[in-house]
Every structure is written in structure tokens, then in C-alpha cells.
Amino acid sequence: MKINVETSTYEMVPFSGPNPGGVADLVYQEIEGAGYFFGARNQDLYVWNVTAGSVQRVPVKNLPEGRIAYGAAYTDQAGSLFVSSNKGGVYQILNHTSDTPRAVFLLDSVVTGNNDGFSCPSSDSPLVIPENQPPTISLEEGGVTIGGTRRCTVDLGVKDEGLPLVGDGLVVEWSHQAGPRPISFTKPDKAKTEMYFSRNGQYIARCNASDGELIVSEDFFITVADDEVKLVETYSGSDDDYKYSRNLWSMVKEQLHCRKHGTLLEEEKRGFDAEDFVLTEDAEVIITAIYDGGTFRNSLFWYSQDDPNEMTEIWHSYVLGPASPLKPGSRASLGVLPAGTPLRFGLVVDGARGGETMVFQDADRNPDGLIQCAAKLFGDAYDGPLILAFEDQVNGDQDFNDVIFQIEIVPRHRGLAQYDEVIPGQMGLHSDRGRRGVEQHLAALGMNSASVETLGQVFQLPNQAVTIEFREDRSSMKFDLCVFDYDQVSHLDPSSLEFRTRAAKIAISVLDDRDTNPGDALSFDPSLYGLAGKTVGLMVVPNNRREVFLRNPHRYTAKGHGERTKRQPLFSLVGANPGYLDQMITVSDGNTTVLCIEDHTRYEVGEAPELGDVSDSSFDDAIIVIRGPITGVNLFDNLYGLPTADPTLGFEGEDGITPRDAVICY
């Protein structure tokens, strides 16, 4: 539509070319005397040539995947093009007048459906180009496919924010590092490539990713035996882990004054509050690497203040970098520790290179009683996970940026049981609402006994198909029952939105109430989804679908606002539910497993109750029977004192970070 603002008239102007429907905002520019409109949708840039009356669609390298609306577009004095995503994120599109544009991620923005903006072509852009970050290389679950004689296909997640502004952008290169014969790569310049090995033996393949300024690499250790690829191993973490750690670091570095080199950390931020480090109940302790700002190869350990001489190493070499085993976002579990443990941490300074000097979280164990850690960076009002920053040198520069990590204390909640003494010392729920209730269904199945009730909150699937029977539906809401690979999210705090979101991303729907009715039976083969023999969690999405929840996980609450409002998922893991309350009761005799589901959250906030129906804790809103050898997995006693393995043992290489002239922690 062409509008004449002087005459208040308009006319429709036809354009030929692809349909640009869904482009939410346009920018007008004159280029060499001709007029053009530019707008983005999904991963494409649409270009309207006003003079020619045509529309062209051009793929844009590095725009995020998925269906995305860019509700705001901008230009500036330099003729640059910027777009803002409704899902969050502002991008500059380089070379937007060419056939090979690429996007550069500049900064985060809020998720919104009301995204708009305006251009100021006579001024410079107010957007500041951030510091270039190295690309990331990750191998997600299912990224390796083994097939054929001495062959496998590796599909990596290789990503970059698009910087620097000059150059051709991200370049991927595979190479052979070790093995009996050179490895053959079908696509050595792609993230996904097939590898062929001419002999059995041990191989190392390396993937390099370069943005033209920074290079990262990841080594893959491959075992070929009996003319078959048996094992592909790497220390690579997921891209989500890396982003999570970088977001933490962006907050921490402001508190450490990293933009002002030489500024000492304030006294009130140093030290720690002892009560924050005492486990109030049995809990798993998870450590996340955030930053390594020192020149030493420090060894990180933990100990209990009750037994300070018993020190357990977490990472032998706390060196973070694209070429080292540890990356920002790498995690380690200390195992499940008993309630009352007064948790403490310390460093062996340069321990990976033979150093013997130690610094401790407890100042009274340090020379002259010096405080060598800072755990009060965000003040008393901060209620997030614990973050501990160490100064690794006694009487050093006191910047406290040498070893920085997050500490998550994740309680292990046992939930409730239907029968007495299934949980020692606790009476059972004894839910019984007549013919369609829990007790009557269990009795009809011959499973109304404490001897077959299980406290397993995750389950090991068999290597064969199972039958899922929809036995009872008393819910007023439709729901979607899903399974997800627990090992992919076991390192996350189950009470966090991050856990719920990532579990939903990888979940597989096994029974949708919209498509099935009580009495129906379905077959589910775990091997078709790569889940044979895997430990899985269960997730039910009341009055919602998994894909709808994932469009905006922040939007959905546990109760919703009224009976018909969409909700967030509920889980078989008690710690993932609001208030750490059970939403499923399970009984199993090894061949038959019964799920008794409560579809309304059982948690009520006393001072500010959320709108929506209150749970009756009947656990008979849906009753589902799974026929097949499924085993409940105990998340408690068998995990005491079992930390994760240390991938840094024996690492003596470089971290892969380009040296900088100035010592400024970025």
C-alpha cells in the first residue's frame, strides 16, 4: 500500500515474487538511487525493490532456527540493518544488500508480542557491538549414528554469535589427529560428517570452529573394533550449558568490577555466610564452572567443616577454554550428601603442575587468617544459587576472579506413598474414592500392597516395546503424558525453569488424552526414540501441549488462572514440582507399572494463593498401566558419596584462549 500523506489517499502497488506474509516490520533505504524495503521472518530476509516491483527472499546465515517474528526493524546513518526478535534478541544483518547476508547477535531483549521500534537514519546506531565470543561446539544426545563397516556419522552443534563484523563468519574444519590410518570425512567442512576408518583401533578426530578471529576445537576419541565403531567420546558440553554459564558471568563480572582493572573488591562482598553452606536436608550438590581468570592450573576441592582434613578433589585442573576438558558451563556432582553437612571449598594453587599451597573458604585456615573467597557478591537480597569466587594468591591482586563457580544444593524429596511404612515412619495416603479410585483399580490389578509400591521417581526402560493402557480418566482437563531422557538433564536443579524447559525440549509424547480414551491401549517402543535401556523421567502437561509450553515457558504457571488455563508440566521427580510435592504415585511388580496421576498442583501459596482449582490429592485424575519390564530407579541411598568423574586428570594442553595484552576479565 502506497500512502500519500499530503492528499490522504492511497493506492495498492503489486509486487511479484515470493509471499512475504508474516514480515512484521520494514525498513526503507535508498541504495544507488533506487528504493528498497527490508524485513525479516524466520531465517530469511525479504527485499522489496520498489523500482522493479519485485520481492526477493534471501536466506540469512546465523539467524536462530524456528518460526520467529521480527517485530521491529531499524536503520542508522551508516545504512546498517537491525532487527529485533519477538522471542528475544537484537541482531545486525551484515551484507543485507547482497545474496549472502549474515546475522550478528548484539544483545538480549525481552520476550514480547508487542515489539516495535523506529529508525533514525540521520544518527549513529545506539547499539554497542559486544566483545567477540568464541564459537561453541557441542555434541547433544543422539548426535552420533553408528552404521556400516567401520563408519559413523557425527552431527555437532556448532554455533557462533556472528562476530567479528569483518570476514566470512563461521568456518568448520574436521581433521585426523591420531590412529592407525587417516580418517576419511565425507564433509570435512560441515558440522555433520560421516567418518570412515580403514582399520580397527583407537582414533582421535578433531573439529575446529573459527569465526575468523577466535578458534575453538573439540577432540573426539573413537574406538573401532570388530569392524564396527564401538565408542565415540568427548568432553563437550551442551550449548545451553555454555549460555547459562555466560549469563552468570555477565552478572558476576559487574560485581567484581572487571571493567575497571585494578579495582579491589569491597570488603562487604568478601567471605561468606556460614548458614548458606549448611545442608538442611539430604541433597545433591552440583558445581557449575563459570570463569577461570588466573594463570595457575588450580585444583578445586571440597570438604566438610566437621572433618576439615578430609578433602575431596572435584577438578584437578580448573582451566576453562575451548580446547580444554572444562568449558564454561561444565558441571560436576558431589553426590548426595546428608543433612547437616557444613559444605566448604578450597584450592590447591597450581595443583595440576605440582603446587602444594592451599587456600580455603574458611579464613582461619589461611595464612594470617586472610579471606580468600567471596560469596556475598549480590548482597543480602539475592536468593539465587550460591556463587563462590576465589582469589588464588595469598596477598595477591585481590580481584577474586581466579576461580569462580556456582553451587546448587538440590534437596532429594521422597514424596508420599499410598501405603503405610513404604517411607519409613510415614503413614500412607490411602486414596480411595470408590469404584474409579486408586485403591479399587490397584485391587483389581492385584497390586494394592506396600510390597509393590515404588519410590522410584525415574524409570529404566527395557529394550523392547511396552503396552500403555489408558485405564481411568476423571480429569476435567486434557493432558499429554511424555517421557524424557533423565541423563540429559540430571545435572540441573529439577526445581528450576531451565530443568522444566530442557526436559520438555527432549520429551517424547507417549499418550495424548486428546487422541485416546479410557480402555485404549498403545504400543511404545523405546528403541525407536533412542531410549532403549535409558533412565527416563515422566512428565504430564495438564490442559496444554508440550510444544505450546515451549513457545514461552515463562508464561505458564502450575495452576493457571482458572480451570481452562494452560499449565506448565508436572513431573514424576518430586523436586521438579511446585512445593516439592508428589504428583504421581507408582506401583510396580517388575512387569506391570501403574501410574496414578494428580493433575492439579498440590502446592498452595499461603499468603498469595494462585488462582485456579485446588488439588484434592486423590491421584485418580488419570490412571495408566504400563505392561513391560520397567524398573523404578532409586535416586537416594545409592547416590551417597558418588561424585562424577573428573575429565581434567592428565590434561596438560593449552586452553585455546587467545592471549590478550591487558589483564581484564572478559
Q: What are the tens digits of pLDDT across the range 580-626?
A: 889 999 999 989 999 999 988 888 755 444 455 678 889 999 999 99
pLDDT digits (tens, 9 = 90+) for 61-107: 888 888 899 988 989 888 899 999 988 888 999 889 999 898 888 87
Pairing of strands 192-196, 27-31: unpaired
Q: Which pLDDT band, with edges at 50, 70 and 90, does 245 fall under? A: confident
Tell me if 115 is assigned to some domain.
Answer: no
Q: pTM of the full predicted structure?
A: 0.55
Selection from 358, 343, 344 nearest residue 299 by Cα: 358
> Looking at the structure, do residues 630 and 488 belong to the same domain, yes or no?
yes
Answer for the pair 423, 417: CB distance below 8 angstroms, yes or no. yes
> Looking at the structure, do residues 284 and 334 belong to the same domain, yes or no?
yes
> Looking at the structure, do residues 220 and 245 belong to the same domain, yes or no?
no
For range 24-44, the mean pLDDT: 92
For range 479-506, the mean pLDDT: 87
- What's the pLDDT score for residue 143? 85
Tell me if 355 is assigned to some domain.
Answer: yes
Cell 559486544 sits at which residue?
Answer: 130
- In this model, does residue 142 exceed pLDDT 90? no
> Looking at the structure, do residues 28 and 102 belong to the same domain, yes or no?
yes
- In this model, does residue 562 exceed pLDDT 80? no
Tell me if 291 is assigned to some domain.
Answer: yes
Terminal C-alpha separation, the chain: 48
Split into its structural domains, the chain has a count of 4
Q: What is the C-alpha to C-alpha distance for residues 337 and 574, in angstroms, rounded to an integer?
A: 18
For range 511-537, the mean pLDDT: 92
Q: Which pLDDT band, with edges at 50, 70 and 90, does 384 fall under? A: confident
For range 183-189, the mean pLDDT: 96
Answer for the pair 420, 505: CB distance below 8 angstroms, yes or no. no
Q: What is the C-alpha to C-alpha distance for residues 301 and 344, in angstroms, rounded to an integer?
A: 9
- The answer to whether the peptide bond before residue 134 is cis (omega within 30 degrees of 0) is no
Beta bridge partners of 11: 2
Q: What is the C-alpha to C-alpha distance for residues 109 and 72, in angstroms, rounded to an integer?
A: 12
End position of a domain, from candidates 204, 236, 268: 236
What angle separates helix 239-255 from helix 497-506, to the nearest 10 degrees? 160
Q: Which pLDDT band, with edges at 50, 70 and 90, does 563 fall under? A: very low
- What's the pLDDT score for residue 625? 96
> Looking at the structure, do residues 103 and 148 belong to the same domain, yes or no?
no
Q: What is the phi/psi pair of residue 299, to 5°? A: -105, 130
Provide the residue range defining the domain that includes 269.
Answer: 240-411
- β-sheet with 144-146: strand ranges across: 144-146, 151-155, 192-196, 184-185
Q: What is the C-alpha to C-alpha distance for residues 64 and 85, in angstroms, rounded to an integer?
A: 10
> Looking at the structure, do residues 438 and 577 belong to the same domain, yes or no?
yes
Q: Which pLDDT band, with edges at 50, 70 and 90, does 470 fall under? A: very high
pLDDT digits (tens, 9 = 90+) for 327-367: 888 888 888 888 899 999 999 999 999 999 999 999 999 99
- In this model, does residue 271 exceed pLDDT 90? yes
CATH number at residue 617: 2.60.120.400
> Looking at the structure, do residues 232 and 244 belong to the same domain, yes or no?
no
> Looking at the structure, do residues 405 and 262 belong to the same domain, yes or no?
yes
Q: Which pLDDT band, with edges at 50, 70 and 90, does 555 fall under? A: confident
Q: Is 243 left (phi over 0), alpha (psi -120 to 50) or beta?
A: alpha
Cell 500412607 sits at which residue?
Answer: 428
Half-sphere exposure of 197 (CA within 13 A, CB side): 31
- In this model, does residue 231 exceed pLDDT 70? yes
Q: 458 in helix, strand or coil?
A: strand
> Looking at the structure, do residues 406 and 444 belong to the same domain, yes or no?
no
For range 238-258, the mean pLDDT: 76
> Looking at the structure, do residues 261 and 383 belong to the same domain, yes or no?
yes
Tell me if 16 is assigned to some domain.
Answer: yes
Q: What is the C-alpha to C-alpha distance for residues 218 and 235, in angstroms, rounded to an integer?
A: 8
Q: Count the residues in the chain.
A: 666
- In this model, does residue 17 exceed pLDDT 60? yes
> Looking at the structure, do residues 66 and 78 belong to the same domain, yes or no?
yes
Q: What is the C-alpha to C-alpha distance for residues 153 and 139, in angstroms, rounded to an integer?
A: 12
Cell 509393590 sits at which residue?
Answer: 452
For range 419-442, the mean pLDDT: 90
End position of a domain, from candidates 349, 376, 411: 411
Tell me if 542 is assigned to some domain.
Answer: yes
> Looking at the structure, do residues 456 and 386 belong to the same domain, yes or no?
no
Please, where are the H alpha helices in 260-392?
none
Tell me if 416 is assigned to some domain.
Answer: no
- What's the pLDDT score for residue 118? 65
Selection from 288, 365, 294, 371 nearest residue 334 by Cα: 288
For range 265-287, the mean pLDDT: 91
End position of a domain, from candidates 214, 236, 258: 236
Tell me if 653 is assigned to some domain.
Answer: no
Tell me if 655 is assigned to some domain.
Answer: no
pLDDT digits (tens, 9 = 90+) for 631-663: 887 665 545 555 677 888 877 777 766 443 333
By the 10 Å C-beta count (0-12 exposed, 13-18 middle, 19+ buried), 270 is classed as: buried
